[in-house]
Amino acid sequence: MAGAAITVALLRITPAQAAEHAIGMLPGTNYDPEEHLYAYVIDITKCIGCGMCVQACSRENKVPDHFFRTWVERYTVSEQGEVIVDSPNGGKDGFKPITPGFKVAKSYFVPKLCNHCANTPCTQVCPVGASYNTPEGVVLVDPKRCIGCGYCVQACPFGSRFINPVTKTAEKCTWCYHRVTKGMKPACVEACPVGARMFGDLKNERDPIRKIVTEAHLAILQPEKLTKPRCYYLGFDKEIR
Amino acid sequence: MKHHRHLVRAGAALIGAALLFFVVRALVMPKSFGRFGHFRGDNIAEQAAIPAVHGAPEACAECHMEVAETKVAGKHASVPCQDCHGPLALHITEAGKEQMPMHRSFTLCARCHQQLAARPAAFPQIDLMEHLDVVGAGHDALTTNEAICFDCHRPHSPSPALAPGTKTKSR
């Protein structure tokens, strides 16, 4: 009896209460998180490696120098299958020609960012409940609760997180949550001059992202980790890690 | 039967400890913690309230219609204004209108158009040195004239190129 009572008290909330607390509109807006489910698609075949996305991200989110919420990698593959991956300053200043020391069979750019996994290893390891998934599928960090232990930085298989050297808290791509809740796209998506980065709402019937996510041939990073990323890649290649 | 008193004391201590636990817990935990899940629910609204730095893509055309029309008709139609000019928050500030920083350098153009093996082949690219030879500018032109691209190319509608030296400062 006592055990049951303590369990109920510890949970603090019953399913009925949870329903009562349905998030509803964010204060001062007509944005309801429950009405959205976001997805991000990256078209590798279109990316020109200009790095405007990385620059826009760092300006939009005041990302400290040498840290990246999104970055662009260049894959250079030889005829024998050797792979060189480089990302000078995360691609923020663009790329310069390289001499890889072998005959280049193919080469391409791969933009990367937080995959906003549905099955997140990073939020699971947070000891203080600072990292969480929003109803729209966005993975966020509460800087007021984060103690900067860095467990989540280690847990992320994609290297998407870092400890901000100024605030000493974990930081990551938020899909520009402060922009998408205002009806805009993430800064990286709006900065892309060739449309290689796409973002949209799967719960919006008119959003072109729905057609892409349901009909196109998409790949995800490290599917063997079973994290269920919400970032999808078009034109994926076997060398990409 | 005074041994019963041990049990009563232990029981009282347990109940006291449990009460203390819940009191401390209620004081320490943020109010909105656990409202939507194992996190502070208020943080969702806090994150959403952060002001945007970059404006919406159509924001620039509200004032700069003329430039927007030139751009839409040209090859740079899909290039966002704020890529080259910087975020809108630098221009429209609380203090009023500020001068936008202008990045008039060949390095800006090279970010997209320097020939690289990794770029899609169909994307217009040039080998910078070769291009300088073709237009007859000489290799040291880059050090003497950083804005050399704009001698022939209008940034908002770069193609076709103008005769070298036409020097269109903008448009």
Q: Between B43, B44, B54, which is nearest A187 by CB? A: B54
| Residues of A with Cβ-Cβ distance to B110 under 8 angstroms | 94
Residue A3: what pLDDT?
Answer: 46
Query: What is the per-residue pLDDT across B68-90, written as a single tens digit (0 to 9) for each?
Result: 999 999 999 999 999 999 999 99
Bridge partner residues of A70 (DSSP): A113
Question: For residue B126, what is the nearest residue in chain A, using CA coordinates?
Answer: A97
Provide mean pLDDT across the span B48-57.
94
- Helix ranges restricted to H, chain B: 4-28, 42-48, 65-73, 81-85, 106-113, 128-135, 141-144
Report how far residue B65's alpha carbon sits from residue B69's, in angstroms, rounded to the nearest whole number.
6
Q: What is the amino acid identity at position A217?
A: H
* Min distance B137 CA to chain A CA atoms (Å): 22
Question: Which residues lie across from B149 on neighbouring strands?
Answer: none
A56 interface with B at CB cutoff 8 Å: yes
Element (H, E) at A75: strand A70-78
What's the CA angle centered on B6, arms B2 and B9, to 5 degrees? Answer: 125
> Cβ distance A107 to A148 under 8 Å?
no
Q: Using the Cα atoms of residue B65, residue B68, residue B72 and residue B74 in order, give the sign of their dihedral.
A: positive
Best of B90, B112, B130 to disrupt the A interface (most A CBs within 10 Å) is B112
Q: Alpha carbon B154 to chain centroid distance?
A: 25
Least Cα separation, residue B163 to chain A (angstroms) = 27
Is the pLDDT reported for residue B104 higher than 80?
Answer: yes
Sign of CA dihedral B67, A198, A90, A234: negative
- Chain B residues with beta carbon closer than 8 angstroms to that of A104: 117
- Mean pLDDT over B150-158 rounds to 90
- What domains can you pick out in chain A, each with its CATH number? 34-69+112-234 (3.30.70.20)
For A145, nearest residue in chain B (alpha carbons): B40
For Cα atoms A173, A106, A157, give the angle at the middle one, nearest 5 degrees.
30
Q: Is A169 on the interface with B (CB under 8 A)?
A: no
The verdict on a CB contact (< 8 Å) between A56 and B45 is: no
Residue A10, φ and ψ in degrees, nearest 5:
-65, -40
- C-alpha span between A234 and A45 (Å, rounded): 7
- Going by the DSSP 8-state scheme, the letter that residue A177 receives in this structure is H
Contact of A48 with B119, CB cutoff 8 Å: yes
Tell me the mean pLDDT per 10 residues along chain A, length 241.
48 53 77 94 97 97 97 97 96 94 96 97 95 95 96 97 97 97 96 97 95 96 96 96 89
What is the Cα–Cα distance from A73 to A88, expressed in whole angstroms? 8
Q: Is the distance from CB of B88 to CB of B78 less than 8 angstroms? A: no
List of chain A residues whose C-beta atoms are within 8 Å of the C-beta of residue B107? 94
What pLDDT sits at residue B102? 79
Q: Residue B134: what pLDDT?
A: 87
Q: In chain A, where does DSSP find H-type helix?
A: 2-11, 15-20, 52-61, 121-124, 151-155, 177-180, 187-191, 208-215
Helix, strand, coil percentages, rounded to 5, for chain B: 45, 5, 50
Q: Are B125 and B116 in contact (CB under 8 A)?
A: yes
Dist CA A58 CA A80 (whole Å) = 37
Q: What is the ipTM of this complex?
A: 0.86
**Residue B69 to chain A, least CA–CA distance (Å):** 17
